[in-house]
Amino acid sequence: MRLELFIANKLQSSRTDKASRSAVSTLNVAVVGMILAIVIMVVSVAVVTGFKQTIISKIGNLDSHIKVYNHPYEFDETPRSSISFSEELEKIISPKTDKRIRSANLIGEIPCVLKSPNGFAGLRFKGVPDNYDLSFLSSCLTAGKSDIRSHGVLISQSTADKLNIRTGERIDIYFMNEQKIKMRRCTVNGIFNTDFDDYDAYVMVGNLEVLQSVNRWPENTASYIEVKCNSMDDIDLVCSHLIDEIDKESADYTSTLSGIFQISTIRDNNPTHFAWLDLLNTNIVVILILMMCVACFSIIACLIIVVLNKISTIGILKALGATNRNIRHIFIIIVMKIIVRAMVVGNGIALLLLLLQRHFHLIELDAKSYFMHYVPVEIGYWIVPLNLGILIVSFLALLVPSFIIASIKPAKTIRFE
């Protein structure tokens, strides 16, 4: 192998005569095609990965990772469908007992009608406790602040525009409870825009105490228990763990935990968005397959061009006793070195483009259609297995075409020009 590597290095570093300049030009075209295929593959994976992570992060910040509620809540959205965060449940659903859980909070969610001097809108009032993490909504604020204390509420920009509401204004919110209409007057402390129309058009955020007073719920009672995990990858595991622990606690005759509980995950509650994201995986696979076909075509072209350019050398090597296997190894080494250089250049160009997009947001998007204002990119560990895959496929693509060397006859090729 050392001899084959030595000969490959010598052949590659040998001077190019006038007769082979056209072959070199053709070889450069094939290399450029290979570089473009690598750039497209790296950029495509980075964009799709960034897009998925951005969408999943937004959904995870706006919705519960896991919801625990009384079974009737799934079918009956009246205020009577509530759950108490008892001591037994608190022992099971707590960051102290499961390190994968980031937080567990009581959340109230009730239909309401928001009325202002300029009109009204049907919304869902999402009541959260005082210590609830509103950092994501704070980052989405277009006006005001994320303060829900003292009957403060947050509404979306679309609702504010529709009803011509500004921060600091007092609004009336009407709830239906036990066939009676109850009104609460609140102050708009903040206006947000998440770019998620499904959320912005129907949700307003306020204090849980408002809903507890409307529905006469005790302090530890609300519509459901919201569980947020430290990682989206832990959701299914935590959900299975909660189901097992609640079933175990309910089966214990000494336990005071009673009722039928329903547990759903963020994927269950947002099937359309996640089905759309899963479809992106299919798209990226198709792109990778097409680009690998282009790369393989360029690689095979490189091998054929190199072999034809050195065909007289092959005859000399065979005349000196080199086997077909030895010569195949020599030319595979030459082409693999070309491939590695093309991969370095392709990855360099792709990373430069991705870094420019990450820092300067050169390519913008329509937020109404894509839920974000610019093309997101994610540069991560995936770039290593992707390049290893390209290298392996490239090597395999060289094996079959390299057998054309066996058909070359020394007597004819030594005189070939």
Tokens 């770039």 sit on residue: 383
pTM, 2 dp: 0.86
Task: State how far the Cα of 246 lies from the Cα of 36, in Å rounded to an integer.
Answer: 55
Say if residue 232 is in the same domain as residue 121.
yes
Say if residue 325 is in the same domain as residue 202.
no
Say if residue 186 is in the same domain as residue 96.
yes
Final residue of a structural domain among 237, 269, 301: 269
Say if residue 403 is in the same domain as residue 346.
yes
- The 8 Å CB, 24+ separation contacts for 174-182 are 174/112, 174/113, 174/115, 175/79, 175/110, 175/111, 175/112, 175/125, 175/211, 175/214, 176/111, 177/79, 177/214, 177/215, 178/79, 182/214
The residue among 264, 184, 221, 207 whose CA lies nearest residue 89 is 221
Q: Which residues pair with 254 in a beta bridge?
A: none
Say if residue 235 is in the same domain as residue 314.
no
Between CA 345 and CA 351, with CA 386 as vertex, the angle to 5 degrees is: 40
Instruction: Using DSSP, state whether 411 is helix, strand or coil.
Output: helix
Task: State how far the Cα of 413 lies from the Cα of 319, in Å rounded to an integer.
Answer: 10
Count: domains in the chain: 2
Say if residue 249 is in the same domain as residue 375.
no
Say if residue 265 is in the same domain as residue 313.
no
Say if residue 116 is in the same domain as residue 204.
yes
**Greatest Cα pair distance in the chain:** 103
Final residue of a structural domain among 269, 295, 327: 269
Task: State how far the Cα of 154 lies from the Cα of 138, in Å rounded to an integer.
Answer: 10
Task: Kindly give the confidence (pLDDT) of every residue in the chain, 417 residues in length, as a single tens digit, with 9 standing for 90 and above.
Answer: 577 877 777 777 665 555 456 667 778 888 999 999 999 999 999 999 999 999 999 999 999 999 998 876 444 444 447 899 988 899 999 999 999 999 999 999 999 999 988 889 999 999 999 999 999 999 999 999 999 988 999 999 999 999 999 999 999 999 988 788 999 999 999 999 999 988 999 999 999 999 999 999 999 999 999 999 999 999 999 999 999 999 888 777 666 677 788 999 999 999 999 999 989 889 999 999 999 999 999 999 888 888 878 777 877 887 788 888 888 888 888 899 999 999 999 999 999 999 999 999 999 998 888 889 999 999 999 999 999 999 999 999 998 888 877 677 665 665 554
The residue among 342, 332, 337, 336 whose CA lies nearest residue 404 is 332
Say if residue 256 is in the same domain as residue 366.
no
Say if residue 250 is in the same domain as residue 279.
no
Cα-trace Rg, the chain: 32
Q: Which domain holds residue 325?
A: 2-59+274-413
The residue among 342, 408, 344, 313 whose CA lies nearest residue 10 is 313
Say if residue 76 is in the same domain as residue 50.
no
Final residue of a structural domain among 269, 291, 306: 269
Say if residue 180 is in the same domain as residue 247.
yes
Tokens 């913008």 sit on residue: 364
Contact 107, 228 (CB under 8 A): no
